[in-house]
Amino acid sequence: MRVNMRQNFQTEFKAWSSDFIIEIINGSENPDKIVREIKTLLSEYEQSFSRFLQGSQLTALNNQDAITLTPLWETVLKEAEAISQTLSPAYFNPHVNLAAHGYNRSIEKLGKNAAIQTDKNALLPYPKGLIKKQNKLQLKSHSTLDFGSFLKGYVSQQIADQYADACQGLIVNFGGDLTVRGQDEEKSEFEIGIFNPVTKEDHWVKLNQASLCTSGIYKRRWLQDNQEKHHILNPHLNNQSDSDYVSISFWGQNGALCDAMATAAFNAPVSEWNKWRSKQADINYLAIDKQGHVISSDFK
């Protein structure tokens, strides 16, 4: 993505193997202090929800251990359940097992040929794979959990909301899932460019107090059994998504939902996207196919 504006302050660093960028316009707080606070918050989320961190709570859960339900876990579980009420299990299921398809380490640590795992059990619809007992959470046998389909969109919005009152405007961009608050330096709406990986051009959209989330299959690829793979699965088939699109973006007021929709859309027809929009009036989308052609609900 590109941002059409001048920045007062911008910094970029790696978080969860993704690029994290924050841009602040006319801020009233020390930006170094903000960055330290954000890194602390991101570390808390990683310790809770990373599939790749050996000591994380999610890793323990996926290893069939019970974990204590913290307020953060309760909040994210509720967010996932709310999304599941908008998107059917055929398109959204946090029980997908990416590790069984070779994505068992962070993308930069995947070798040229990822190890094959054989666990291809049928997926339970979310949240039927969860076992809650008082303040403990555990997974049913053969179930796994992965919040990667919506968590970056959720976190980018949480961080943007936390610092929105301390500046004229800001953009929080977490690996292509971004949230804007306030106004740009000219006191106008932010303009965000969605990158076309085929034509190498940008398609610009205006955002007003909204989130824009993009999923794509042209990055995060690896070889498994000498076949190229990507990180988006079809929850219904428990297999790789087979789509005509290389990049799909959704934008609206709910960052977590937009992130989930941008991923789920790879497994759904456009008619289904429009059904999602009928439930969420502020939602728009832009998709780019393998020839670089664009379809959009709003783009002119």
The partner residues of 68 in beta bridges, in order of sequence, read: 136
Overall fold of domain 2-296: T-fold (3.10.520)
Alpha-carbon gap, residue 293 to 48, rounded angstroms:
39
Per residue in 25-46, pLDDT (tens digit) is 998 888 889 999 999 999 999 9
Q: Which of the four pLDDT bands, split at 50, 70 and 90, describes residue 124? A: confident
Mean of pLDDT values over 267-274: 93
Per residue in 89-123, pLDDT (tens digit) is 888 999 887 655 544 444 444 454 444 444 455 67
Q: Do 177 and 213 touch, CB atoms closer than 8 A?
A: yes
CA angle, corner 241, sides to 238 and 243, nearest 5? 155
Count other C-beta atoms under 10 Å from residue 218's C-beta.
Answer: 13
Alpha-carbon gap, residue 239 to 101, rounded angstroms:
8
Residue among 82, 53, 213, 67 nearest 44 (CA): 53
Q: Is the pLDDT of residue 300 over 70?
A: no
- Whether the upstream peptide bond of residue 31 has omega within 30° of 0, thus cis, is no
The partner residues of 66 in beta bridges, in order of sequence, read: none
Q: Which of the four pLDDT bands, split at 50, 70 and 90, describes residue 222? A: very low
DSSP labels, 201-229: -EEEEEESS-EEEEEESSSSEEEETTEEE
pLDDT of residue 52: 86
Q: Do 163 and 30 touch, CB atoms closer than 8 A?
A: no
Query: Quick one: CA torsion of 142, 73, 59, 143, rounded to 10 degrees?
Result: 10
Mean confidence (pLDDT) of the chain: 86
Q: Report domain extents, the chain.
A: 2-296
Token pair in block for residue 166:
């301390």
- Determine which helix (DSSP H) or strand (DSSP E) holds 268, and give its type and residue range: none
Q: Is the pLDDT of residue 272 over 50?
A: yes
pLDDT of residue 62: 94
Q: Is the pLDDT of residue 242 over 80?
A: no
Q: What percentage of the chain has pLDDT greater than the value 70?
A: 81
Q: Which of the four pLDDT bands, split at 50, 70 and 90, describes residue 7? A: very low
pLDDT of residue 251: 98
